[in-house]
Amino acid sequence: MFTVTLMAQPGGLETSTVEAVYGAWGGSQLNWLSGGEAAAFALPVLPDNQWQVWADLQKLQIDLVVQASAGRQKKLLLADMDSTMIQQECIDELADVAGVGDRVKGITARAMNGELDFNSALIERVGLLKDLDVGVIDRVLADRITLMPGGAALVSTMRANGAYAALVSGGFTAFTSAVAGQLGFDENRANTLIVKDGKLTGDVAEPILGRAAKVQALEEIIQQLGITAQDVLAVGDGANDLGMLKIAGTGAALHAKPAVAAECSVRINFCDLSALLFVQGYPRAAFI
């Protein structure tokens, strides 16, 4: 069996739209997870026109996910941080303060879209931060970093239902430790900026945590937990997330770069992170 989930911003999901898809595909067990926001139903087979219907619903700003019904509720949340659990790219914010914002943002955008090697791009960008006062990190955290809507509910609800949550970022530990603590992640992994005499040296500690390291993190954590990759919900937005997104039982591209979204079957383009609870079958009333 398969489960179809339709989701929109609150009030954006019309009953008529849900019933039209439900009827056309011959669905059963229609269940409203949140009125005007999310609904799910069962299907015996995958529809041939899944992606055409998906494209049509995109015009209405509705996200559509079709997945196997078995094992939808996951035991591990593996999440990227920048532009995923937070609304910014931390290195871009640091660069803006350092006066090299435009240059670094351009490199970041190309790296996240898969146009540049992630490791080389990170080294180049960090090099532009040389001699930046380390105190800037705390100021950026306080003044510029905001959480992605729905993230707190995603982490809290999954953990309350027995899941483990890991924040795995190509960003920096100075940020992941703060964000992980605020959201309640069980652990966090990221790159380390090297500091000397209270200033950034322009170097990042080796080995760099990039695409391969995120896959490694997934493999290490599922082994520790005694689960399989099918038990994992991974979420990210950039090219360096594709490895873990493809291996995870549910790999969700959140407001992702085009090159990333094109390779993922679970694409959340309009809803916030709470959509990933609906995708697992949690009703809004069960959110923590």
Catalytic positions, written as ranges: 80, 82
Cα-based torsion angle of the residue sequence 118, 267, 232, 68 in order, rounded to the nearest 10 degrees: -140
Contact, 274 vs 148, CB < 8 A?
A: no
| Cα–Cα distance, 259 to 237 (Å, whole number) | 10
Q: The tokens of 55 are what? A: 């494209």
| Cα–Cα distance, 231 to 46 (Å, whole number) | 21
Contact, 241 vs 259, CB < 8 A?
A: no
Contact, 95 vs 103, CB < 8 A?
A: yes
Contact, 234 vs 84, CB < 8 A?
A: no
| Cα–Cα distance, 206 to 260 (Å, whole number) | 26
| Cα–Cα distance, 63 to 261 (Å, whole number) | 13
Helix axes 173-183, 135-143, angle to 10 degrees: 40
| Cα–Cα distance, 45 to 252 (Å, whole number) | 22
| Cα–Cα distance, 212 to 214 (Å, whole number) | 5
